[in-house]
Amino acid sequence: MKQTVLVTGAASGIGAEIAKQFCLAGYNVVLNYHKNNGPGLELVNEFKGQSLAFRADITNHLEVEQMISFADENFGGIDIVVNNAGVMLWQLFDKTTLDDFNHVFDVNVKGVFNVCKATVPHMIAQKFGRIINISSMWGQVGSSCEVVYSAAKAAVDGFTKALAKELGPSNVTVNSIAPGVIQTNMSKNLSAQTLESLCQETPLGRLGTPLDIANTVLFLASLKAGFITGQIIGVNGGFVI
């Protein structure tokens, strides 16, 4: 029986590549999106019957519950969760408002809580599950002008470690992937000079790609990773060690 994967923020960027690789590997895939009706949703036409899209704001627990019910009705439940949806905030701390703070934490932290809250009971009942959270290397070491974003991703990593201990007896693994600088629309906001500087600071001498992250996600979702839980796995080309 095919396993079913939920990928949040799957319309574009890293999320779209993760969803694509799961489809190619033969999984059933539920692609979550909110405002961005991006190219990732074309997978629904490419992999008919195997992939479905559902619009939901992950900060709203009612919409998340509706999405999980939709997955249950079509695929019989979620076996693997990839909490990829997130927002960045590049801003000096003294210019950051409470609304900014709330928005970043709502999407990056509360969204992870809502999705896990709605999917964990099924995983516990079947004694199997994979939860893979996409955090950031800045959650590990912090980044100037990204104080709130760094704090939110650090919270995701703490959530990951604690939940892994709680769900381990139910054979549910929980891990985080902490990407480095990845070539997505988010990085396009950086100047060419900044991107070149980041490449030089990266021991492998290049920026990461969405496929670099997707390959790691697929490994953590597989049976080969059954003894890995509670880990923050850096996929950053050696930028943070």
172-179 vs 232-235, strand pairing mode: parallel
Cα–Cα distance measured from residue 150 to residue 101, given in angstroms and rounded to the nearest whole number? 11
According to DSSP, residue 107 is labeled I
CA–CA dist 147, 155 (Å, integer): 12
CA distances from residue 44 to 65, 159, 199, 217 in whole angstroms, order as listed: 21, 31, 35, 20
Order of strands, sheet of 129-134, starting from the edge strand that comes earlier in the sequence = 51-55, 28-33, 4-7, 80-83, 129-134, 172-179, 232-235
Q: Which of 75, 149, 159, 239 is catalytic?
A: 149
Does residue 27 have an active-site annotation?
A: no
Rounded CA separation 166/73 (Å): 28
Which residues lie across from 32 on neighbouring strands?
A: 54
Pairing status of strand 51-55 against strand 28-33: parallel
Which tokens belong to 114?
């809502």
157 near 177, Cβ under 8 Å? Answer: no
**What are the residue numbers of the active site?**
149
